[in-house]
């Protein structure tokens, strides 16, 4: 695999850290800024809103810019947002800074996925995407716990300064390792061409699979702490370690999904969704003892992230004329899944169905995702897949990129 994928993974590590660390710092931020915990929770929502807005918007308006330049620019915006978060004088300014921090998230993963697949042979595309996402899953194992500890010991502002430093390291790695490319004008191209790709039914079915599939994960994961403490009997102090186990499972699933999807993308996706539904359906049983609950956390991360790479490739395949925009829109779909899954899981708790009921709601969402994916497959069988024409968005690459892709 090309060393350039390491640069993408470093950027993904920083993004994953800043996205999830706020959840562990909420009490510290609330106390320091003199706001309630629910108000501090809006900082998580502000970041997610930034992802949803920035993912398709930034990918579309930078469609004719060299992707290496786009990636560096997105990471520079990431550094600005996190630095502004560190120096925010009050709650309102921190809210804006978190929104800005989220803007480059989706576009970075979207454009990065296109660059990653362009660096390798066709039979290694899914593996290249999984290696980029490796930075995101490792962030849950290492980055978030370390950043949370830093915030608790040195103050929450130090955490965002540290994340900004990670962003600077990612910029240096991108500038050093990502090959140059030159984008030329395409007849009828630009923003209109990018947006036209989203009119396709298969693209929306692929995005719908992402929303339902990862909505299943977040319906349960959003309430994993009360499941572990109230049902499995863990002390609150041990929950952080168990969440790290989720990151281990996610890392295993991510690498496994990338390898399997290169051989059978659709089969890997279907198998992942079925596995996710089964794991979530068994949560009420698995959460009755400490050892089985720990196993359930690992299996949840593994089953969910097996689907990550095939979902990303599925969306890019359905929108071959605008892969950057479609891939970025898929990241917005991940965040919609986050918000929607948490909301649906919360409804089951509010209805009094028990502390493990969000997992059962997640199982239903996984089955729904499987149905949407099957519908997409049926549509594919009825209409031929459109292949890219002679006009290509990226017309020429440097010999370095061509040689790397050949290898």
Residue in the block written with tokens 């999807």 = 261
Q: 405: exposed, middle or buried (C-beta count within 10 Å: 0-12, 13-18, 19+)?
A: middle
Q: Evaluate the CA torsion angle 27, 163, 142, 275 in order and state its sign.
A: positive
Q: Domain boundary at 143, 166, 183, which?
A: 183
Beta bridge partners of 397: 181
On whether both 99 and 222 belong to a single domain, the answer is: no
Token pair listed for 338: 């986050």
Give the model confidence (pLDDT) of 354-369 as tens digits: 889 999 999 999 999 9
278 lies in the same domain as 311:
yes
Q: 360 near 283, Cβ under 8 Å?
A: yes
Min mean pLDDT across 5-14, 48-57, 278-287 is at 48-57
CATH number for the domain that contains residue 164: 1.20.1250.20
Is 402 within a domain? Answer: no
Task: Tell me: pLDDT of 385 over 70.
Answer: no
pTM: 0.77
Same domain, yes or no, for 154 and 264? no
Q: What is the pLDDT of residue 139?
A: 86
Residues 220 and 248 in one domain: yes
- Exposure on the CB side of residue 140, measured as CA atoms within 13 A: 20
- Structural contact between residues 22 and 115, judged by C-beta atoms closer than 8 angstroms: no
Is 166 in the same domain as 278? no
Same domain, 129 and 220: no
- Pair (155, 274) in one structural domain: no
In this predicted structure, what is the pLDDT of residue 239? 77
Domain count for the chain: 2
Residues 6+ apart with CB under 8 A from 199: none
Q: Are residues 104 and 201 in the same domain?
A: no
Radius of gyration of the chain (CA): 20
Asked whether residue 406 is domain-assigned, the answer is no
DSSP classification of residue 123: G
Which are the contacts of 288, defined by CB distance < 8 A and separation ≥ 6? 231, 232
Q: How far apart are CA 40 and CA 295, in angstroms?
A: 32
C-alpha 2: how far from its chain's center? 22
Same domain, 156 and 194: no
Judge if 84 and 194 occupy the same domain. no
Nearest residue to 358 (alpha-carbon basis) of 234, 230, 242: 230
| Residue 396 phi, psi (nearest 5) | -140, 145
With respect to residue 145, please indicate whether it lies within any of the assigned structural domains. Answer: yes
Q: Which of 234, 360, 328, 365 is nearest to 288 (CA)?
A: 234
> Rounded distance, CA 231 to CA 241, Å?
17
Instruction: Give the number of other Cβ atoms within 10 Å of residue 289's Cβ.
Output: 13
> Is 401 within the bounds of a domain?
no
Question: Does 246 reside within a domain?
Answer: yes
Specify if 365 maps to a domain: yes
CA atoms within 13 A on the CB side of 197: 31
Asked if the model's pLDDT at residue 96 lies above 90, the reply is yes
Range(s) of the domain holding residue 346: 187-391
Structure confidence by residue, pLDDT tens digits, 40-95:
778 877 888 888 888 888 887 887 788 889 999 999 999 999 999 999 999 999 99
Residue 398, in any domain of the structure: no
Q: Is residue 113 part of a domain?
A: yes
Read off the DSSP letter of residue 155.
Answer: -
pLDDT 10s digits, 101-140: 999 998 898 888 888 888 888 788 888 888 888 888 888 7
Instruction: Check residues 208 and 237 and name the one with the higher pLDDT.
Output: 208
Q: What is the pLDDT of residue 15?
A: 92
206 and 89 in a common domain: no
Q: What is the number of helices (H) and of strands (E) in the chain? A: 18, 2
pLDDT of residue 182: 47
Residue 382 shares a structural domain with residue 258:
yes
Reported as a pLDDT band with limits 50, 70 and 90, residue 192 is low
């Amino acid at each position: 695999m090309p060393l350039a994928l390491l640069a993408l993974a470093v950027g993904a590590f920083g993004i994953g850290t800043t996205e999830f660390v706020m959840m562990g710092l909420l009490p510290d931020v609330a106390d320091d800024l003199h706001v309630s915990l629910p108000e501090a929770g809006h900082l998580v929502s502000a970041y997610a809103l930034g992802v949803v807005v920035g993912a398709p918007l930034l990918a579309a308006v930078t469609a004719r810019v060299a992707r290496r330049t786009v990636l560096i620019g997105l990471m520079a915006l990431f550094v600005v947002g996190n630095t502004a978060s560190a120096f925010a004088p009050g709650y309102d300014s921190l809210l804006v800074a978190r929104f800005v921090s989220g803007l480059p998230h989706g576009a970075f993963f979207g454009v990065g996925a296109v660059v990653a697949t362009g660096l390798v042979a066709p039979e290694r595309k899914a593996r290249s995407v999984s290696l980029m996402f490796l930075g995101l899953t490792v962030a849950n194992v290492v980055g978030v716990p370390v950043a949370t500890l830093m915030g608790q010991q040195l103050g929450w502002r130090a955490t965002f300064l540290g994340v900004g430093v990670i962003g600077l390291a990612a910029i240096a790695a991108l500038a050093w390792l990502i090959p140059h490319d030159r984008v030329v004008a395409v007849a009828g191209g630009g923003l209109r061409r990018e947006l036209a790709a989203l009119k396709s039914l298969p693209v929306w079915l692929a995005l719908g699979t992402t929303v339902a599939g990862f909505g299943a994960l977040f319906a349960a994961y959003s309430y994993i702490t009360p499941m572990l403490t109230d049902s499995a009997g863990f002390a609150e102090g041990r929950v952080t370690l168990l969440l790290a186990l989720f990151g281990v499972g996610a890392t295993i699933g991510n690498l496994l999904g990338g390898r399997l999807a290169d051989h059978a993308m659709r089969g890997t996706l279907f198998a992942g969704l079925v596995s996710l539904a089964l794991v979530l359906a068994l949560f009420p049983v698995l959460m009755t003892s400490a050892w089985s609950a720990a196993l359930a956390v690992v299996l949840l991360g593994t089953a969910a992230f097996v689907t990550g790479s095939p979902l990303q490739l599925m969306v890019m395949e359905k929108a071959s004329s605008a892969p950057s925009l479609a891939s970025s829109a898929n990241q917005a779909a991940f965040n919609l899944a986050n918000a929607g899954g948490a909301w649906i899981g919360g409804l089951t708790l509010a209805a009094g169905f028990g502390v493990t009921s969000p997992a059962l709601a997640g199982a239903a969402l996984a089955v729904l995702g499987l149905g949407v994916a099957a519908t997409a497959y049926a549509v594919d069988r009825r209409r031929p897949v459109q292949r890219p024409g002679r006009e290509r968005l990226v017309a020429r690459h440097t010999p370095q990129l061509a040689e790397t892709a050949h290898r």
